[in-house]
Copies of this chain bind each other. A is one copy, B any other.
Amino acid sequence: MDMSKRPTEASAPAPRYRQVADALRAAIDAGRLADNEALPSERELTEQHQVSRDTIRKAVRLLEDHGLVYSDHGRGTFVAPALVRRMSRYIDGFSEDTRQRGGVPSQRILNLEFSPATMAIAQLLQLESGHPLTRVRRVRLTNGVPIGLHDAYFPLPPGVKLALQEVERARSLYQLLMERAGFAPVEAVENLFAASADAEEARLLGVPEGAPLLVCERITLSERREPIEYCLMKYVSSYRYSARITQSSRLA
């Protein structure tokens, strides 16, 4: 019997290019490679890791996509400066972001309700108006201080219901939805703009009425690019949304 394939999850070993990428990332994180320092050449890495050059290139490409290194034709590949390295956005950003910036994230659930989709939200989620949705309103806090309001709407599979308790206990709402409802976000689109806090928002966030808020609207998409969640987030002015923009290797 060949036991090399474990039946349980996480059985498959990471592909070699990811192993190489992880090794390089570790070297960068540990400071063994300084900002703007050159990595070994691709041909050297080929020998060090005993894989083909193409595999090395895939590893480097992965790191480059994440903003950890950059390659210059004819010169070499270099460690990206920390300013760039720190930038990266993930799908359930808040908890991760906060931790990454050295803060302690927490949340307070305002309410968990089951409400039919309005026309506006039905349109966004490509459902018929009135389709039953679950709505979760939360205050997000950093080090105990209110930073943002999240208002999420999503359909649950028939028969699945969320209890307030589980939502409160969950480390991440997305994690919970993954386990309970097969929620599998792989991509999201966001629109950001500024607005003023109304009386309720001001009260919940501990800011004066009319204070400026950063509003982030998000539509989350499944693997098949079906919209599976709409979320409206409002942040106080001390919150920073970070982004990294790369040149559009223009297509025609």
Contacts and interface: CB of A to CB of B under 8 A. Distances in A.
Interface of A: 18, 21-22, 25-26, 36, 62-63, 65-66, 68, 70, 72, 78, 80-81, 83-84, 87-91, 93, 185-196, 210-215, 219, 221, 223-225, 227, 235-249, 251-252
A248 B91 contact: yes
A36 B186 contact: no
Q: In the assembly, how many copies of this chain are there?
A: 2
A114 to B, nearest CB: 26
A248 B188 CA distance: 12
Given A63-B251, A78-B225, A189-B243, A219 B25 contact: no
Contacts of A90: 245, 247-248
Contact of A193 (B21, B196, B214): B214
A194 B194 contact: yes
A211 B227 CA distance: 33
A249 B188 contact: no
A124 to B, nearest CB: 9
A87 B225 CA distance: 14
25 contacts: A21-B251, A25-B251, A36-B225, A78-B225, A80-B225, A81-B221, A88-B248, A91-B248, A185-B247, A186-B247, A188-B245, A189-B243, A189-B245, A192-B214, A192-B241, A193-B237, A193-B239, A194-B194, A194-B195, A194-B213, A194-B215, A194-B236, A196-B211, A212-B212, A212-B213
Nearest to A241: B192
A247 B90 CA distance: 6
